[in-house]
Amino acid sequence: MIGIGSGLDGTLKESDSMNIPFFDGHNDTLLRLVDHARQDKAAMFIDGTTDGHIDLPRARSAGMAGGFFAMFPPPLATSLAGVAANPMGDGQLPPDLDLAPAQRSTFAMAALLYRLERLGALSVCRSVADIRSAIAAERMAAIFHIEGAEAIDPAFDSFEVLYAAGLRSIGITWSRANAFGTGVPFRHNADPEIGPGLSDAGKALVQLCNERNVLVDLSHLNAAGFRDVAAISTAPLVATHSNVHAICPSTRNLMDWQLAAIRESSGIVGLNYATGFLRPDGRFVADTPIELMVRHVDALIEAVGEDGVALGSDFDGAMVPADIGDVTGVPRLLQALMDKGYGETLVRKIALDNWLSLIERTIG
């Protein structure tokens, strides 16, 4: 594991943020690669690119130990580029997505993930022991995650197939409705109290995830669905890529009562880098200071505690601050936390250790 240096007083030295390994709670890199016109998408990741936020050379140079690699089935006839170009949409829920197209896109991303593993670019991990082994071998650790459960049928036959393939984390919804629950539309100056709670199939999915040690991700889920998960689940509550509603009043962010429930369950919130979920004005503009990210971290620590805050970038799925730019900018965020006075132990927790602890308590 990459070591962390410190000064004589035990605090991190200014240059030491470059030496801190970090684990990312959410990226859409697989979808960006699958959506790209280039034919050899695995080589694009392994050799490096001039677009997007994450590839292997940049991730290694930044100290990225691994992360949750999301498989998000996009809206019909809409590419990732189309979603990113208009992230707020019209403030309404996108149309539902049928099982067949959701499975096609999910299987394409899963196939790419396993091709990358065969080529030695990463290791698909099913436990915290797998993650630690991957880090020791200097291979990127990847958690198989689906964002929106549209690829799962209500009888859960496809769940069994996906689980056997390595699925260990599920976001019940993206920002649309499906057979299991309802997501939040992208709205600013609004709260997530929109739509009904989980369906009977959604409640059964939560119970199944608990039984099989699959993490349930609450990001994108509406308030009623959040309450249902909190009432049913025996596992820590997790929002892999969400921020603080009191700072940025977006439907995608967490209200005080949600943060309190996460803290009560010893769960985690991963800081989302998307500018529209950071800024009080909700604008998706690159000219967004890192200091605003630190402000959200401060508020998250106050709300959920030092053990409950981690990173959840949304890289390759959102506009991030220009001063971050891509994965190589994460050390600048960690440096900003140090400059704020965060000590070595806390920076390590936020960067890596809190995710490892949470994964051990949920996935195994």
> 104 in the Ramachandran plot: left (φ > 0), alpha (ψ -120 to 50) or beta?
alpha
Helix (H) or strand (E) run with residue 178 in it: none
DSSP state of 302: H
> From CA 321, how far away is CA 53, in angstroms rounded?
12
- Residue 8 pLDDT: 26
- The count of other CB atoms within 10 Å of the CB of residue 13 is 14
Three-state DSSP class for 149?
Answer: helix
- Residue 89 pLDDT: 53
Count the helix, strand and coil residues of the chain and give each as a percent rounded to the nearest 5: 45, 15, 45
Tokens of 214: 């699959």
- Residue 83 pLDDT: 46
Indicate the pTM of the whole model.
0.92
Per-residue b/e over 294-328, b at no fewer than 16 CB within 10 Å? bbbbbbbbebbeebbbbbbbbbbbbbbbebbebbb
The one-letter amino acid at 268: I
Q: Pick from 345, 242, 326: which is nearest to 25 by CA?
A: 242
Helix axes 200-212, 223-232, angle to 10 degrees: 50
Cβ atoms of 221 and 181 within 8 Å: the answer is: yes
The vertex-129 CA angle with 123 and 135, nearest 5°, equals 50
- Residue 17 pLDDT: 56
> From CA 249, how far away is CA 268, in angstroms rounded?
20
pLDDT mean values, one per 10 residues, the chain (364 residues): 28 56 98 88 94 97 98 68 48 89 96 98 98 97 98 97 98 97 96 97 98 98 98 98 98 98 98 98 97 98 98 97 98 96 95 98 98
> Which residues have C-beta within 8 Å of that of residue 335, sequence separation ≥ 6?
14, 17
